[in-house]
Structure 1
């Protein structure tokens, strides 16, 4: 069995996060990273999740897409929206979103429309059903107000097909 190893690129992540910021805001992306999610199990039975740099990944590995940001402006920034697509060949991991003081919505139609996860649906023939994790195409964070100097971090996990 041949195992594919995929190089990890941050280019799309930085471009998507930056393009989602409102033009009038001085909110700057301070860092973006893609990290492997590694679960460590200890002899006492406890577990801990660690994040390690992801230079190349194999199918089945879980990654964290992480963006840190800061309001470098002198004024508050209102309604800051950041949208990041779930990369092709990746499946969103349920309940993995980190959202510092942000409302989170999801899309199943390429970012055309968004809804909270519990209200995210898809049409399946003549029925409407709750969207599955592998149908999520984008994650969007909305921050009502960022005061000058305020920093935040957002992230989600996904598994490589």
Structure 2
């Protein structure tokens, strides 16, 4: 695996935060990250998706990766206002985001600082009839640089997985 691709995978490591958790207190939320290579196979005449640990296969430009965060509430009570963040590594191009739990809000960013629900909009300057005019246009998902999942509530023992799909440049 090339150094650039390896760096992309390491840079794609996820960061989860739990609002208000003190650094010395054991976290009531466990997080497990996985980087998986997505391939297609034909089984019994049907195309199926196969996920392989990225450390056990070759990752090359054009490879599709599923970067996942699996989380579980290991406390005895409900947790609220959980925020999971995932950066889109610059060596990859964002495709889509998914999450297996309900009651979430997914937001996207083009700068890693400001987040909003899709579709994101940006202002561009174009020339019309010889004059510069500003127009609002939709941001392409390939321009997203980060994803944030806001989970309103997780009951005791509840778990889920949030993930992004990216293509290696």
Partner of 2:68: 66
Uncovered stretches (5+) of structure 1, i.e. residues with no partner = none
The structural deviation recorded for 1:129 is 0.8
Contact 1:107 1:138 (C-alpha < 8 Å) held by counterparts: yes
Uncovered stretches (5+) of structure 2, i.e. residues with no partner = 22-26, 126-133
TM-score with structure 2 setting the length: 0.79
Looking at structure 2, the residues matched to 75 and 9 of structure 1 have their Cα atoms a distance apart, in angstroms, of 34
Compare CA radii of gyration and give the structure with the larger one. Answer: 2
Cα distance change of structure 1 residues 41 and 124 upon mapping to structure 2, 3 Å threshold: farther
Paired residue for 2:159, among 151, 154, 157? 151
Contact 1:70 1:149 (C-alpha < 8 Å) held by counterparts: yes
TM-score with structure 1 setting the length: 0.83
Looking at structure 2, the residues matched to 98 and 147 of structure 1 have their Cα atoms a distance apart, in angstroms, of 16
The equivalences for 1:36-115 within 5 A come to: 36-42=37-43, 44=45, 46-55=46-55, 56-94=58-96, 96-101=97-102, 102-110=104-112, 112-115=113-116
Contact 1:104 1:116 (C-alpha < 8 Å) held by counterparts: yes
Looking at structure 1, the residues matched to 3 and 12 of structure 2 have their Cα atoms a distance apart, in angstroms, of 21
Cα deviations across residues 26-47 of structure 1 (Å, max 9, x unaligned)?
A: 2121x21100001113463x21
Looking at structure 1, the residues matched to 40 and 99 of structure 2 have their Cα atoms a distance apart, in angstroms, of 17
Could you say what secondary structure the match of 1:134 adopts?
helix
Which structure has the highest strand share of the two?
Answer: 2
Looking at structure 1, the residues matched to 111 and 3 of structure 2 have their Cα atoms a distance apart, in angstroms, of 28
2:19 corresponds to 1:22 = yes
Looking at structure 2, the residues matched to 13 and 4 of structure 1 have their Cα atoms a distance apart, in angstroms, of 16
RMSD: 2.2
Partner of 2:150: 142
Looking at structure 1, the residues matched to 59 and 92 of structure 2 have their Cα atoms a distance apart, in angstroms, of 11
Looking at structure 2, the residues matched to 12 and 93 of structure 1 have their Cα atoms a distance apart, in angstroms, of 14
Aligned residue pair count: 151
